[in-house]
Amino acid sequence: MSRIAYVNGQYVPHLEAAVHVEDRGYQFADGVYEVITLHGGRMVGEKGHMDRLDHSLGELRIDWPMSRQALSVVIGEVIRRNRVGDGFVYIQVTRGVARRDHPFPENPESSLVVTARRMPPIDKETLRQGVSVITIPDIRWKRHDIKSVSLLPNVLGKQQAREAGAYEAWLVDDDGNVTEGTSSNAWIVTKDGELVTHNASYAILNGITRLSVLEAADEAGIKFSERPFSVDEALEAKEAFITSSTSHLKAVTRIDGQSVGNGHVGELTGRMLDLYVDFIENHGGPRHTGTWN
């Protein structure tokens, strides 16, 4: 079966899917995106992703390419045509095609691309195995709450991680605090047993997976703290993990080559993974969204 992509009003074979060379997404990275997990044929956190898309578009003054309702129909159609049960949907909106010039064009028409891809279903055993992260300086711009397609520092960071034999790079701000990963949110369980992740602010992308995990923790009566944590605190942590729509909730067992705790998936991490999967199966995603910074 060949993959189908949606590009500016048309469903086309993935291999032929293309945008104009003067699309501002291509020229200036003048666009935003969302990645939505598909779990057992259902989108996880569709409302949250749409709310965050609205935030990103609003902050950059890019028009919605169509109504929210119409976009939901297109997304459903792309999933259906690609017969994806487990995987993800990718949505990209840019400021559209215009002669190359930095200021916003007059009367821009936003471009919209939607694709879907199969992925293996969530496998708790794999997620518990644990991955390594490295820490590197956060050299990004200052608006990480906007899910911009301008991802060069993230690309370079992820490559650096891969070349170091690690799965992810944690980005460290000028105060020595971990903001987040190049494509995931960062979590630790401190040596005193406190579950910690950076607070939502301009410093991080407020992940939909992050929001689900926080709600799942709340529901289970597990205390957490949304605050910055330093690299030193992370190195002393008992447990660590990352969250994202494509990595779900993955244990981190090494930071900068040093074992986290006993080097195996932590107790609370394992519990949070179970709670997270139950949570998305019961609620379909976070129920409380709306603040992105």
Active site residues: 147
Closest distance between ligand PDD and the C-beta of residue 206, in Å? 8
Tokens 């976009």 locate to 71
Closest distance between ligand PDD and the C-beta of residue 103, in Å? 27
Comparison of 177 and 184: residue with beta carbon closer to ligand PDD: 184
Comparison of 72 and 246: residue with beta carbon closer to ligand PDD: 246
**Which residues, listed in sequence order, are joined to residue 258 by a DSSP beta bridge?**
255
254 closest CA partner among 155, 167, 139, 145:
167
- The residue type of 275 is L
Residue-by-residue DSSP string for 175-243: TSEEEEESSSEEEEE-TT--EEEPPSSTTS---HHHHHHHHHHHHTT--EEES-EEHHHHHH-SEEEEE
Closest distance between ligand PDD and the C-beta of residue 141, in Å? 12
**Count of other CB atoms within 10 angstroms of residue 89:** 24
Tokens 């990004």 locate to 140
Comparison of 24 and 210: residue with beta carbon closer to ligand PDD: 210
Residues 6+ apart with CB under 8 A from 288: 211, 215
Closest distance between ligand PDD and the C-beta of residue 48, in Å? 8
Task: Name the residue with the smallest CB distance to ligand PDD.
Answer: 207
Interacting residues with ligand PDD (CB under 6 A):
35, 180, 183-185, 205, 207-210, 243-246
Comparison of 132 and 197: residue with beta carbon closer to ligand PDD: 197
